[in-house]
Chains A and B, each alone.
Chain A
Amino acid sequence: MTDTTTTVTTSSAQQHTAESLSVWLVDRIAVYLKRSSDQIDATVPLAEYGLDSVAALSLCGDIEEDFDLVLEPTVAWDYPTIEALAAHILEELSTQAGAA
């Protein structure tokens, strides 16, 4: 489990935590599903919610756009739940912030 108290500062000076990323992702996925955010479980694979393989690729573009991050296009395939994806984004943010 990722420690949700870890914070990362990006170039845009925004502070992200696993929790804030999770909230962001839940909101996105909820829109895909036309459900309210509280009906989305962060531990359920996105594919179970009907996110097809190509649409999952486009999620990567959304993440890049909002967080100024460069990711593998298959990131949502390799980290198939919101929980896993949030942890991965956090890790990438800290790596890329550290490298900058």
Chain B
Amino acid sequence: MTTAQEVRAAARIAEIEAALGDPADPANPVGQARLLEADEAGELLAAGEKALEALNLNAEFVPVELGGRLERIDTLVRVLRQVFRRDVALGLGYGVTSFMAAVNVWTEGDERQQARLAEILLDGGRASVAYHELAHGNDFVRNEFEARVQPDGSFVLHGAKQVINNAARADAWLLFSRTDDAPGSRSHSVLMVERAGVDPERVTVLPRYTTVGVRGCQLAGLDFTEAPVAAEALVGSLGQGVELALRSFQITRSAVPGMALGGADAALRTVVSFALGRRLYRRSVMEIPHARATLGNAFLDLLISDSLSLVGTRAVHLLPEETSVYASAVKYLVPKLLQETMYELSIVLGARFYVRDGEFGGFQKNVRDLPVLSLGHAGSAACQATIIPQLPRLARRAWFQDAPAPAELFQPRTDLPAIPFRRLALASGKDSLSASLVAAVDELPDGSPEEVAVQSLALRLMDELRQIQEQSLTLSLEDRTALASPASFALADRYTVVLAGAAVLGVWREARADGGDPFLADPAWAAAALDRLVRRLGYQPAALPASCAERVHQELLRRFEEHRSFDLYDCPLAG
């Protein structure tokens, strides 16, 4: 059954695809050739921004109740993926920055702030999120930028924020500010400050940063000198900045990596096209076993990434008390998988991966653009550091005890309730995603060789969870902080791999029960994906039936030829 939410999502994607057109068409004003030129010039493609404005893309970031289109985080990811597919810089620079800023206001802002920000965005304006101070990195509790509280409740802004996307052209800034001199987690607050409300004499835009990738993004700093702003700028309560940040991060960390999947989709498409067209050793590159396996594995990595991303974003709606860990797992593992995939694909592409223009020029751009996902917003290590202190508690109270997640968590096209911004918990004491893996193990079918493979790989992952549990129980106190030993970070890494496996298994089982998508319902991809994850953990499982890789390969070719996306949605694309 196709629901109203699904109809809206599919129609919106079709609308965006139609407006942005075939990336490979040289006459397309927002095609790859123009995007590459803009990248070389260090600009966002003006025609691209104009097209997104005409589509009113900003409406995606504004909740439906406030007049926008935002009703589901997984849908937001799916829609933005079409923009990222063409240009990661445009996706971040036109839009996602505004979303990252806005989430703070949707979470804790009052009615007036929410209405005002919705108005700014729906009018095509931008918001910037100013958390970062170069001196403190992800250790943002040490941030020094001040909003000095005045006796009448108003503030005086003083100090600098750096590397802020769209700092110079945003209409509103969300400023993470020190409002108390005391150390600790109650000394910061978030302020929403409109550019128009600040004396221009008292704020300077610092010089733009030049970067390796996303060259079009306008990253700059802001330097305030004793700039007064009204008491109404405060978002939420005084001293609640860290708490608000940790809540907002759960939504943005779970959402942004899945959007970037679009960039990897484009790169895989480029390399499939190359492998089918180029002839070496009197055969096409696609007939060379190494190349063929690499491309199949890249497709599997996209499916794994999308499964984890799906679960992370749907958990925001369905399991808001648990998202702290899942969001960090998505933000940690997905960018890492995608970057590794890009490296493997570059080997198949060979010397063409080094070419900056023409048919394959988009590939090197994605190689440079995608790593920003592991850097911006929350670094990989910061995400692991969010997971590590929660492991002992999960080990004691959650794993092998919790009830499994609701089936809807794994169903890409099923309706979701509204985003419960205020129910997101700071730390999680439950894990129903891994409970779904444990519960599934006893019920898995074992009729076909592919099903047997899935079953034995799922068992291996469950065993891994058991080992992670044992090791988490013995984590010493100092190994639970950001200064933990490398072994703690490795433990967090392994746990995210298990969560990814639980997501894949859940997606396959639900697709099998539903029967709507014959490929997702087939155990072949699930076995091949779980095999990749189990090998990632360092194990050497039994060889898979050859039919698994073959099924994945045929699906990859079909989607390439029919211009459909390499993710869980098999979505029709404009070229």
Tell me which residues across on chain B come within 8 A of A47, comparing CB atoms.
Answer: 141, 183-185
B363-406 with Cβ < 8 A to chain A: 385-386, 389-390, 392-393, 396
Q: Residue A80 contacts which of B186, B243, B477, B482 (CB distance < 8 angstroms)?
A: B186
Bound form: Cα–Cα A74–B427 in Å: 9
- Counting from the closest, the 3 A-B pairs by CB-CB distance are A58-B389, A47-B184, A47-B183
Q: Does A77 belong to the interface (CB within 8 Å)?
A: yes
Tell me which residues across on chain B come within 8 A of A31, comparing CB atoms.
Answer: 476-478
Bound form: Cα–Cα A50–B390 in Å: 18
Bound form: Cα–Cα A57–B425 in Å: 11
Bound form: Cα–Cα A73–B185 in Å: 12
Q: Does B161 belong to the interface (CB within 8 Å)?
A: no
Given contacts A51-B481, A52-B482, is CB(A58)–CB(B427) below 8 Å? Answer: yes
Given contacts A47-B185, A58-B392, is CB(A52)–CB(B481) below 8 Å? Answer: yes
Bound form: Cα–Cα A45–B180 in Å: 14
Task: Evaluate contact between A53 and B246: CB separation under 8 angstroms.
Answer: yes
Task: Evaluate contact between A58 and B139: CB separation under 8 angstroms.
Answer: no
Tell me which residues across on chain B come within 8 A of A50, comparing CB atoms.
Answer: 481, 483
Q: Residue B480 contacts which of A34, A48, A55 (CB distance < 8 angstroms)?
A: A55
Given contacts A57-B389, A80-B184, is CB(A52)–CB(B141) below 8 Å? Answer: yes
A1-50 with Cβ < 8 A to chain B: 28, 31-34, 45-48, 50
B182-220 with Cβ < 8 A to chain A: 182-186
* B141, B183, B184, B482 — most chain A CB neighbours (10 Å): B184
Task: Evaluate contact between B393 and A61: CB separation under 8 angstroms.
Answer: yes
Bound form: Cα–Cα A65–B139 in Å: 28
Interface size on B, residues (CB 8 A): 28
Residues of B within 8 A of A (CB): 139, 141, 182-186, 242-243, 246, 385-386, 389-390, 392-393, 396, 425-427, 429, 476-478, 480-483
> What bracket does the count of chain A residues touching chain B fall in?
20 to 34
Q: Does A69 belong to the interface (CB within 8 Å)?
A: no
Report A37 CB to chain B, min CB distance, Å: 13
Report A39 CB to chain B, min CB distance, Å: 15
Tell me which residues across on chain A come within 8 A of B393, comparing CB atoms.
Answer: 58, 61
Given contacts A65-B396, A73-B425, A73-B426, is CB(A56)–CB(B185) below 8 Å? Answer: yes
Given contacts A31-B476, A52-B139, A52-B385, is CB(A57)–CB(B182) below 8 Å? Answer: no
Q: Does A54 belong to the interface (CB within 8 Å)?
A: yes
Complex interface bits, A63-88 against B, C-beta within 8 A gives 1, otherwise 0: 00100000001100110100000000
Tell me which residues across on chain A come within 8 A of B139, comparing CB atoms.
Answer: 52
Question: Which residue from chain A places its CB closest to the CB of B242 in the assembled complex?
Answer: A53
Task: Evaluate contact between B480 and A74: CB separation under 8 angstroms.
Answer: no
Task: Evaluate contact between B183 and A54: CB separation under 8 angstroms.
Answer: no
Task: Evaluate contact between A45 and B183: CB separation under 8 angstroms.
Answer: yes
Question: Which residue from chain B places its CB closest to the CB of A29 in the assembled complex?
Answer: B477
Tell me which residues across on chain B come within 8 A of A77, comparing CB atoms.
Answer: 184-186, 242-243
Bound form: Cα–Cα A53–B242 in Å: 8
Given contacts A31-B476, A32-B477, is CB(A54)–CB(B186) below 8 Å? Answer: no
Question: Which residue from chain B places its CB closest to the CB of A30 in the assembled complex?
Answer: B477
Tell me which residues across on chain A come within 8 A of B185, comparing CB atoms.
Answer: 47, 53, 56, 74, 77
Task: Evaluate contact between B385 and A32: CB separation under 8 angstroms.
Answer: no
Tell me which residues across on chain A come within 8 A of B478, comparing CB atoms.
Answer: 31-34
Q: Residue A32 contacts which of B243, B396, B481 (CB distance < 8 angstroms)?
A: B481
Question: Which residue from chain A places its CB closest to the CB of B481 in the assembled complex?
Answer: A55
